[in-house]
């Protein structure tokens, strides 16, 4: 069992307060997307930020607000960067995860199939033990669904070859197990630059995501030495989405200054949908 590592810091530890906060984020996002007239037929995954909810929770709510009508048998494959350096380079969890809202069941059949089809992934819990970037995604799912199944994968390796391997392994595993899945790439964008600089840099990277060019996206991140922490997670989700002939659309972009009032040094947040 994987117990919460960041409840009470990244998000509320009180069940009622947490649920009310998330419902507020989801309602606001849903209303905004409806007002824009945006509708998406089939969803394969999305990018969502993983900072403290007071900073990035509203941005993260946008793609989650679009999946509330999905059936509960969907499995969510959560790809997250490794901020701690612990554990194996690409680590699949086989544990159930607990949050203040209850237990998220691990889809071990799908996880086994992903490992079988991957040359880089291994089962490992150490990489997940203190990592926040997958954990903060789970309460959003638990707010909308009574039961949630997931496979959490922590990526210490984020190069393009790893992204191809993992994106393809998830695609093959979904076919072999006849699973309906949504891939969630957990990532923040530019860190600790001015809001103007962060937005400019992030727009240059996001255009490659919207064009479904994973290699060019990673090349841009590396060439410009960008501080997008989950770029490999994003690229792997793109590779999975590309195999499903999906496209990408930016839903929302904001930065931490919108919460703190400090626009001199911000973190950028984007929610991006993979759909067709």
DSSP letters spanning 117-171: H-SS-EE-SGGGTT--TTGGGHHHHHHH-SS-EEEEEEES--SHHHHHHHHHHHH
| DSSP secondary structure string for all residues of 176-244 | HHT--EEEEEE----EEE-HHHHHHHHHHHHHHHHTT-HHHHHHHHHHTT---TTHHHHHHHHHHHHHT
pLDDT tens for the chain, residues 1 to 276: 999 999 999 999 999 999 999 999 999 999 999 999 888 889 999 999 999 999 999 999 999 999 988 988 999 999 999 999 999 999 999 999 999 999 999 999 999 999 999 999 999 999 999 999 999 999 999 999 999 999 999 999 999 999 999 999 999 999 999 999 999 999 999 999 999 999 999 999 999 999 999 999 999 999 999 999 999 999 999 999 999 999 999 999 999 999 999 999 999 999 999 999
Q: How does strand 43-48 pair with strand 181-186?
A: parallel
Question: Which contiguous run of DSSP H or E holds residue 271?
Answer: strand 266-275
Helix axes 108-117, 160-177, angle to 10 degrees: 130
Distance CA 173, CA 72 (A): 19
Question: Which contiguous run of DSSP H or E holds residue 258?
Answer: helix 257-260
Backbone CA torsion sign across 243, 128, 140, 256: negative
Q: What topology does CATH give the domain 15-57+66-275?
A: Protocatechuate 4,5-dioxygenase; Chain B (3.40.830)
Q: How does strand 122-123 pair with strand 90-92?
A: parallel
């Amino acid at each position: 069992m994987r117990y919460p590592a960041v409840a009470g810091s990244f998000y509320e530890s009180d069940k009622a307060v947490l649920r009310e906060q998330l419902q507020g984020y989801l309602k606001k996002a849903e209303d905004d997307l409806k007002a824009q007239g945006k509708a998406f037929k089939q969803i394969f995954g999305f990018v969502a930020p993983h900072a403290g909810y007071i900073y990035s929770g509203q941005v993260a709510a946008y793609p989650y607000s679009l999946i509330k009508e999905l059936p509960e048998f969907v499995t969510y494959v959560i790809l997250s960067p490794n901020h701690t350096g612990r554990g194996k380079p690409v680590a699949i969890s086989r544990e159930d995860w607990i949050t203040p809202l209850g237990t998220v069941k691990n889809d071990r059949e799908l996880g086994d199939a992903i490992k079988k089809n991957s040359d880089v992934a291994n089962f490992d819990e150490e990489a997940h033990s203190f990592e926040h970037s997958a954990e903060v995604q789970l309460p959003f799912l638990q707010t909308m669904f009574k039961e949630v199944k997931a496979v959490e994968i922590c990526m210490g390796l984020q190069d393009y070859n790893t992204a191809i391997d993992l994106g393809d392994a998830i695609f093959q595993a979904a076919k072999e197990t006849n699973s309906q899945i949504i891939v969630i790439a957990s990532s923040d964008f530019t860190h600790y630059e001015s809001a103007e600089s962060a937005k400019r840099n992030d727009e240059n990277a996001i255009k490659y995501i919207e064009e479904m060019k994973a290699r060019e996206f990673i090349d841009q991140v590396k060439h410009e030495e960008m501080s997008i922490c989950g770029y490999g997670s994003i690229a792997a989700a793109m590779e999975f989405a590309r195999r499903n002939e999906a496209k990408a659309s930016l839903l929302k972009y904001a930065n931490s200054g919108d919460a703190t009032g400090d626009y001199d040094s911000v973190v950028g947040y984007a929610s991006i949908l993979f759909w067709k």
